[in-house]
């Protein structure tokens, strides 16, 4: 199977974020994934686009965000491009991005934001940031595995399970 790829561009308006989610959800249906796995890929993409709008563009509309969704036999690659404010060079490797401590008995300890990048890093197998032709690019990679589904030797692509031992079902 060759790479299947689609590129779409949205305006940096928060009202467009649900549209991105819907597109990624439908594109993910080209791959035999569980509903949870599809949702996780959608969530990561929506979080990345939201971060572009909030942080790279300071919440301002009127700027382009380009999303490239690529399906390879062995992986899914999602690239999110913007021309806004640069991310700090070592931002992805910072230790203070870890999930905050939450008291399950005190809902006020739950932050309304600030966990998007950590969610992306937990779900995706690889997350990279780079500059490409004067654009910021967040690259999210999810590896796929082959698993036998019946005795006839046919195989189905299944996504690797999230890190941390959860089975994604």
Q: At 57, which CATH number?
A: 3.30.565.10
In a domain, 164, yes or no: no
Tally of domains within the chain: 1
Q: Evaluate whether residue 147 is within a structural domain.
A: yes
What is the token pair recorded at 16? Answer: 């467009």
Residue of 62, 76, 81 lying closest to 24 (CA atoms): 76
Average pLDDT estimate for 137-142: 96
> Residue 65 is part of which domain span?
4-159
Whether residue 149 is contained in a domain is answered as yes
Residue 169 lies in a domain: no
Q: How far is CA 95 from the centre of its chain?
A: 20
Residue 168 lies in a domain: no
Looking at per-residue pLDDT, the higher value among 167 and 10 belongs to: 10
Between 25 and 151, whose confidence is greater? 25
Residue 165 lies in a domain: no
Residue 55 domain flag: yes
Question: pTM for this one?
Answer: 0.77
The answer to the question of residue 143 being in a domain is yes
Taking the C-alpha atoms of residue 67 and residue 140, their distance in angstroms, rounded to an integer, is 11
pLDDT exceeds 80 at position 105: no
Q: What is the pLDDT of residue 103?
A: 55
Residue 94's pLDDT is 56
> Phi/psi of residue 132, each to 5°?
-135, 110
Mean pLDDT of the chain: 80
Question: In the chain, which ranges are continuous DSSP H helix?
Answer: 17-28, 35-51, 116-123
């Amino acid at each position: 199977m060759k790479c299947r790829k689609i590129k779409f561009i949205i305006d940096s308006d928060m009202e467009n974020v649900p549209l991105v989610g819907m597109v990624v959800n439908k594109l993910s249906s080209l791959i035999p994934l569980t509903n949870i796995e599809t949702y996780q890929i959608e969530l990561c993409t929506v979080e990345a686009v939201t971060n572009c709008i909030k942080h790279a563009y300071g919440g301002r509309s009127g700027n382009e965000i380009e999303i490239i969704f690529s399906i390879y036999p062995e992986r899914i690659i999602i690239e999110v491009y913007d021309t806004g404010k640069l991310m700090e060079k070592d931002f992805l490797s910072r230790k203070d991005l870890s999930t905050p401590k939450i008291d399950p008995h005190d809902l006020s300890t739950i932050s309304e934001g600030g966990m998007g990048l950590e969610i992306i890093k937990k779900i995706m197998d690889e997350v990279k940031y780079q500059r490409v032709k004067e654009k910021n690019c967040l690259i999210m990679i999810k590896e796929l595995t082959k698993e036998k589904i019946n005795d006839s030797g046919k195989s189905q692509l299944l996504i690797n399970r999230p890190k941390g031992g959860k089975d994604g079902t």
